Amino acid sequence: MRRIIEAFSRCRIVPVVAIERAADAPALARALLAGGVGVAEITFRTAAAAEAIARIAKEVPDMLVGAGTVRSTEQVRQAVAAGAQFVVAPAFSPAVCAFCAQGEVPVFPGCATPTEMEAAIALGLTHLKFFPAEQAGGAAYLKAMASVFPEVKFMPTGGISAKNLREYLDLPNVLACGGSWMCSPQRIAAQDWATITKLCKESICNAR
């Protein structure tokens, strides 16, 4: 877990990727790396997710690749078998968290309420995804969580873009921001690697 947290806190941006063709995954990973982003969360929102993770793990070893939108222990199994180094979940699932703990797989469960946060903390988890960030109350909401959960660092995702990135990153309880703003499914489908690299570079400048 420590290694993943360090990578997130260095990069401060975690692209959330929905990819339809696994064959595009290595080129996408290289485009992100060229833009200074060395982390990618490949979501299980498409059937290509596991193969995309496997191709990145094998062909672009400099990329820290993880799995996102993980909702079941079976998906954790598939992700890890493919080479995922971390797991991000949209919800707080005790079953997924316990399974990850058993396999020593770093996991970031999605929490949107103090009750879910408390339940995750009770399992020993102190690095949580905050989802859906903008819709659930945005940076102001996370700021309010700092005084009650001082031990927690969040990775907000959902509705984050170049416009509001700074608001979140300026909070001391934010580890990194996740989102698809630099690699939308449309841009990936169009193989628009140059724009993805450009948006990553801009976001990285903004994040420093």
CA distance 128 to 155: 6
CA distance 38 to 44: 20
Active site positions, annotated = 41, 129
User: CB of 180: closest distance to ligand 3PG in angstroms?
Assistant: 4
User: CB of 152: closest distance to ligand 3PG in angstroms?
Assistant: 18
Site size toward ligand 3PG (CB under 6 A) is 13
The correct pick among 178, 193, 196, 197 for binding ligand 3PG (CB under 6 A) is: 178
Instruction: Provide the β-strand partners of residue 130.
Output: 111, 156
CA distance 38 to 17: 13
Pick the closer one to ligand 3PG by CB: 138 or 179: 179
Task: Tell me the per-residue interface mask from 133 to 172 with ligand 3PG, x by CB under 6 A, - otherwise.
Answer: ------------------------xxxx------------
Q: Which of 161, 206, 179, 201 is nearest to 18 (CA)?
A: 179
Q: Which of 17, 70, 8, 11 is nearest to 180 (CA)?
A: 17
User: CB of 147: closest distance to ligand 3PG in angstroms?
Assistant: 25
User: Which listed range, 100-108, 120-128, 138-146, 177-185, lies at the site for ligand 3PG (CB under 6 A)?
Assistant: 177-185
User: CB of 176: closest distance to ligand 3PG in angstroms?
Assistant: 12
Does residue 129 contact residue 157 with C-beta atoms inside 8 Å?
yes
Told to check if 85 binds ligand 3PG by CB under 6 A, we report no
Helices assigned H by DSSP within the chain: 2-11, 25-34, 49-59, 73-82, 94-102, 114-122, 133-136, 138-148, 165-169, 185-189, 193-207
The correct pick among 4, 13, 16, 42 for binding ligand 3PG (CB under 6 A) is: 16
Residues near ligand 3PG (CB under 6 A): 16, 68-69, 90, 131, 157-160, 178-181
